[in-house]
Amino acid sequence: MSYMPVSPGVGMEENFLSLDDILLSQERLPCKTDTEFPGLGFLEKNADSRHIPEGTKMEMPLWLAKGLYERKRRVISVELPKVYREGWRTVFGADANVVDLHKMGPYYYGLGSQMLHFDSPENLEIAQTVLQTFIGRFRRTMDSSQNAYNEDTSMLVERLDCLERALFRQGQSGLNGFQLWEKGRAAQLTASSLVTNYRKRKITDLQA
């Protein structure tokens, strides 16, 4: 309750210290090198040279792509992952609720916002699609989080991406708090969650 972790950044900004943003920036993107990288041949499994030649296609994590990318386009060019391309965009336009966003990369919204850094000509469409998808799916997420009391929510949460899951969790905690208050249990003093979690972990250490 008194542990308030750093929340993920909003939109195109990342929070430096947010653990969620660090995990987000670990996602891989397909890229193409536009210049030679001398001495780094060991990263690419080709038995070729000791350098990474120009035009190599490789997968880079987001943090590396963001760090190396320059507007004057001398270093690397980043391609869009499948989910943000034309084909999938029409799917999202048709019906956003059907898609399993957890499978399509668990960070659909986060990665979509970060892709806007790479000056693709389709930036406007990507941004609009991400926004419309969120608007389309939000109602269902909110409804399910506010009405699933004391039951197994794994089926509801399965197809949600991380941002939606965070929203779902918040909704659930609000619902639980309200129900406790309704039952008159709001004034009941409880053990702190840190203590109970620590104790649970200790018991498993002993058993291991």
Partner 1 sequence: MFIFWFYLLLLQNVLHILHFSYFSLLFSLVQCLNILNYQHSLSELIPTIKFRHCCLLRNQRCITAYLYDRLLRIRALRWEYGSVLPTTIRFHMCAEELEWFNQYKKSLATYMRSLGGDEGLDITQDMKPPKSLYIEVRCLKDHGEFEIDDGTVILLKKNSQHFLPRWKCEQLIRQGVLEHVMS
Tell me: does residue 17 bind partner 1 (CB under 8 A): yes
Least Å distance, CB 119 to partner 1, is 18
- Residue 76: phi and psi, rounded to 5, are -135, 160
Instruction: Say whether residue 194 binds partner 1 (CB under 8 A).
Output: yes
| 61 beta partners | 28
32, 77 Cβ separation under 8 angstroms: yes
Residue 19 makes CB contacts below 8 A (sequence gap 6+) with 5, 6
Between residues 39 and 174, which has the closer beta carbon with respect to partner 1?
Answer: 39
Q: Which of 10, 94, 187, 203 binds partner 1 (CB under 8 A)?
A: 187
Give me the least distance between CB of 111 and partner 1, in Å please: 17
Rounded Cα–Cα distance for residues 41 and 45 (Å): 8
Residue 174 binding partner 1, by CB under 8 A? no
Q: Which helix (H) or strand (E) holds 32?
A: strand 28-33
The Cα 206–Cα 201 span in angstroms is: 9
Q: List the interface residues with partner 1, window 41-80 (CB under 8 A).
A: 50, 63-64, 67-68, 75
Q: Which residue number, 33 or 141, has a Cβ lying nearer to partner 1?
A: 33
* Residues forming the site for partner 1 (CB under 8 A): 1-6, 16-19, 22-23, 35-40, 50, 63-64, 67-68, 75, 184-196, 198-199, 202
